[in-house]
Amino acid sequence: MKFKTKKASFSSEKQVCFLQPLLQKKAMMLREIIIHLILIGLIFIMFFMATAGRVSKNEVRQQVIEKQIALMIDAAEPGTTISMRKIGDNGFINDISAEAGSIHVVINDFISIKGYPYFTKSSVSVRDDVTKFYIDVR
């Protein structure tokens, strides 16, 4: 008795169809893992930068200078000019500004968000030259 056996023949089309899901799945998984890692890395970079800014001494230095200037402005008589060196023991003062009744100091590129308020009835303006800032109380 002869049994006719059908030979299993894998055509190229069937081979591709068999292997394609596996290859696609591996590629997709790898792509997703890479995207996950990049996004998680970005979040942690932002987190570490924010924490480093918080932990650094620049915030304390900024507080000290802002409050010093605010108290000097409050105590000053009209016609007084207060000068501050740009380079000092606390570092490099990038900018001093008097806006909406508050003094803002940018030190070592550390930006001032809140500032410190002053209450003098005189008008306050800030100007600078190469080495110093001048705060005029008029």
Partner 1 sequence: MKERKYGCINNKKGVAGESILMIYRLLLISFIALVILGLAAVFYDYSINVRWAEAQILGKKVVNCLAPEGVLDLDKIPVSGEKKILDYCGISNSGRFFVQVDIMDNNMKSVKTLYDGDSGSLWVKRVYDQGKVNDNLKKYEAGYFSQIYDISTLKDKNKIGIKVNLKVLVNYED
Site string for partner 1, 96-135 (x = CB under 8 A): -----x------------x-xx-xxx--------------
**From 49-57, 80-88, 103-111, 126-134, span contacting partner 1 (CB under 8 A):** 49-57
Sequence-distant (≥ 6) Cβ neighbours of residue 86 within 8 angstroms:
92, 93, 128, 131, 132, 133
Q: With beta carbons less than 8 A apart as the criterion, state whether 115 and 102 touch.
A: yes
Sequence-distant (≥ 6) Cβ neighbours of residue 110 within 8 angstroms:
53, 56, 58, 59, 61, 62
Residue 96, burial from CB neighbour count under 10 angstroms (0-12, 13-18, 19+): buried
Residue 50 found at the interface with partner 1 (CB under 8 A): yes
Residue 47 found at the interface with partner 1 (CB under 8 A): yes
Residue 32 found at the interface with partner 1 (CB under 8 A): yes
Q: Tell me which residue has tokens 């893992």.
A: 33
Q: Which residues bind partner 1 (CB under 8 A)?
A: 12-13, 16-17, 20-21, 24, 28, 32, 35-36, 39-40, 43-44, 46-47, 50-51, 54-55, 59-60, 63-64, 67, 70-71, 74-75, 101, 114, 116-117, 119-121
